[in-house]
Homo-oligomer: A and B are copies of this chain.
Amino acid sequence: MQGESSQEPNRARQRRDGVRLADVAAAAQVSTPLASRVLNADPNVRAADETKARVLEAAERLGYVPNIGARTLRQRRTGLLGLVVHNLSSPIYLDLLQGARTEAAANNYFLVLGDVDELLTDEEAYRILVNGKRIDGLIVQGGHGEFDQRIADIAHALPTVIVNAPPTLTETVAPLVAPDEGAATRMLTEHLLALGHTRIGLISGPRDSPTNQLRVEGVRAALASAGCALHDVDTVHLTWSAEAGHAGLRELATRWGNSSTRPTALIAGNSLIGIGMLRAAAELGIEVPRDLSIAAVHDTWISEHLVPALTTVSLPLREMGETAVRLLLTDRPEAQQIIISDPPPLLHARATTATN
């Protein structure tokens, strides 16, 4: 009986199915290290062109692909970058993701996705990601009080780029890539001012959120330049969601009551909030833009499809993603602040804003 051989007919192929560098080298009749150097285009190798060609041809013919594990073990780099944002389900960061992914792919890097909350709560995930050298670098969305210390820890252990955070805390921690929030909100506010609005309100994200503070700051500055002011009574701070926009406008409407002294225009902290505001306006019988103009920071794909189409100012999210990846890949990122000014914030004047 030949039980063994019949039980495992193809045991030989079982073990290693891939083509090793050694196989390529053997096929090209060179040593393994030389093959490695040729394939990695080591400039110190001055082998005959014919030899190089033989190696490349053999690699191509055998379909050689370097073993990731071995390379990672030796070189201590994984070819992976982490991208950690606050809410993966939010459409707000799709452009950031897209930009980062494209730039990463162009350099044969891959992106792994993380969630900020997970990094905060799941100690295991934190360890694997940060201490385990699972990724070569991390792009993390910043701007959250209790989280800042954690980011500092991470940045200490791993090349890190912070995205979309206030410049203050990042100065010595990690490089920052951010949009020109001031220019964007100023542009939006000036658009409303130019339309003749003088009393302008605001519904935005958490009051303490640094991003919110930057945006409010921009609005204030632009209003001040025109001799106007931002009144607390015209301001609501909740979250960055559509629900918050909805609740926010209802809150303002309650404050207004039947009084005729109220803002003629409102700024939304982001386009999600703007969407919620449009819905609330419809429910309340407020006609936009006749009774109220609405303009939102942070354009998204949806803005132009709304009825009425939402006036926004676009932030260079895609470029931020690209830049963040480039920072991580080029040189060891020094702590610096990069405000993306190309392209500059762009005003999309649509149907929700009109002359007062």
Q: Which residues of B contact A46 (CB under 8 A)?
A: none
Q: Are A131 and B72 in contact (CB under 8 A)?
A: no
Cβ 8 A contact of A65, one of B76, B110, B127: B127
Q: Are B78 and A89 in contact (CB under 8 A)?
A: no
Cβ distance A313 to chain B, nearest Cβ, rounded Å: 20
Q: Which residues of chain A from 76 to 92 have any CB-CB distance to chain B below 8 Å in the complex? A: 76, 78-80, 88-91
What is the 8 Å Cβ interface bit string for chain A, positions 182-204, against chain B (1 contact, 0 not)?
A: 00000000000000000000000
What is the 8 Å Cβ interface bit string for chain A, positions 28-47, against chain B (1 contact, 0 not)?
A: 00000000000000000000
Whether a CB of chain B sits under 8 angstroms from the CB of A301 is: yes
Whether a CB of chain B sits under 8 angstroms from the CB of A112 is: yes
Whether a CB of chain B sits under 8 angstroms from the CB of A328 is: no
Question: How far apart are the CA atoms of A111 and B89 in the complex, in Å?
Answer: 15
* Number of identical monomers bound together in the oligomeric complex: 2
What is the 8 Å Cβ interface bit string for chain A, positions 272-301, against chain B (1 contact, 0 not)?
A: 000110110010000000000000000001
Q: Are B305 and A282 in contact (CB under 8 A)?
A: no
**19 A-B pairs whose Cβ atoms sit less than 8 Å apart in the complex:** A65-B131, A65-B132, A68-B78, A69-B69, A69-B71, A79-B134, A80-B112, A88-B94, A89-B95, A90-B94, A91-B91, A105-B115, A105-B125, A246-B305, A276-B305, A279-B305, A279-B309, A306-B306, A307-B307
Cβ distance A347 to chain B, nearest Cβ, rounded Å: 21
Whether a CB of chain B sits under 8 angstroms from the CB of A12 is: no
Question: How far apart are the CA atoms of A134 and B18 in the complex, in Å?
Answer: 12
Q: Which residues of B contact A140 (CB under 8 A)?
A: none
Interface size on A, residues (CB 8 A): 56
Q: Are A113 and B133 in contact (CB under 8 A)?
A: no
Cβ distance A278 to chain B, nearest Cβ, rounded Å: 6
Whether a CB of chain B sits under 8 angstroms from the CB of A73 is: yes
Q: Which residues of B contact A118 (CB under 8 A)?
A: 105
Cβ 8 A contact of A97, one of B71, B88, B95: B88
Cβ distance A20 to chain B, nearest Cβ, rounded Å: 12
Q: Given contacts A65-B128, A89-B94, is CB(A105)–CB(B122) below 8 Å?
A: yes
Whether a CB of chain B sits under 8 angstroms from the CB of A63 is: yes
Question: How far apart are the CA atoms of A94 and B18 in the complex, in Å?
Answer: 34
Q: Which residues of B contact A94 (CB under 8 A)?
A: 88-91, 94
Cβ distance A150 to chain B, nearest Cβ, rounded Å: 16
What is the 8 Å Cβ interface bit string for chain A, positions 126-144, against chain B (1 contact, 0 not)?
A: 0110011110000000000
Whether a CB of chain B sits under 8 angstroms from the CB of A145 is: no
Q: Are A89 and B80 in contact (CB under 8 A)?
A: no
Q: Which residues of B contact A70 (CB under 8 A)?
A: 69, 73
